[in-house]
């Protein structure tokens, strides 16, 4: 696969560029050149900037391209972004991941995908390159919803562990 990248901070892309990736000057330049777009950003505001800005992804007609957004976002934003992207001709998948930097570097991420099932299936070879498992969760927003429920479960487990440790220490 040909890798075309853009990062708001070009320094963060240096390893990929050294490995043979091609630099694009803007998200729009990536959208114009790539068949499938993959984004992983910090929050809805960051996604909005790269999508709606003057040099944003959505300034370029999608022509039925796929957009995999692996950002951890709220479900309502993912649903809204899917509808907005569709108006521009993009097939949007909300596909947050379970895993952090080390699993990403090892290709062991788990993708939690919401959106059109046929698009998820078509993108499966890319998911397989980046991760060890893909869980199709349903319609747009459902990947984000599944990520939120998993994060909630993990948080409650950590709280229960801490409370149990405190109780154990208190009991001697």
The question of whether 132 is a catalytic residue gets the answer: no
User: How far apart are the C-alpha atoms of 61 and 74, rounded to whole Å?
Assistant: 25
CA neighbor of 123 nearest in space, from 68, 62, 71:
68
For the chain, give me the number of helices (H) and strands (E)?
Answer: 7, 8
Assign 96 to helix, strand or coil. coil
Q: Per-residue b/e over 157-170, b at no fewer than 16 CB within 10 Å?
A: eeeeeeeeeeeeee
CA distances from 159 to 25, 155, 163 (A): 44, 6, 6
- Of these residues, 2, 87, 133, 147, which one is catalytic? 147
User: How far apart are the C-alpha atoms of 17 and 99, rounded to whole Å?
Assistant: 24
Active site residues: 147
């Amino acid at each position: 696969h040909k890798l075309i990248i853009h990062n708001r901070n070009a320094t963060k892309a240096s390893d990929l560029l050294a490995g043979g990736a091609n630099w694009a000057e803007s998200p729009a330049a990536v959208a114009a050149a790539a068949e499938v777009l993959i984004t992983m950003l910090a929050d809805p505001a960051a996604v909005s900037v790269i999508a709606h800005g003057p040099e944003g992804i959505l300034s370029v007609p999608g022509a039925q391209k796929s957009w995999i957004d692996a950002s951890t976002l709220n479900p309502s934003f993912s649903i809204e972004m899917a509808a907005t992207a569709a108006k521009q001709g993009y097939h949007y998948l909300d596909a947050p991941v379970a895993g952090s930097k080390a699993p990403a570097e090892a290709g062991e991420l788990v993708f939690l995908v919401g959106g059109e099932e046929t698009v998820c299936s078509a993108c499966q070879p890319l998911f397989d390159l980046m991760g060890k498992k893909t869980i199709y969760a349903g319609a747009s927003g459902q990947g984000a919803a599944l990520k939120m429920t998993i994060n909630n479960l993990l948080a409650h487990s950590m709280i229960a562990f801490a409370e149990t440790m405190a109780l154990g220490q208190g009991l001697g």
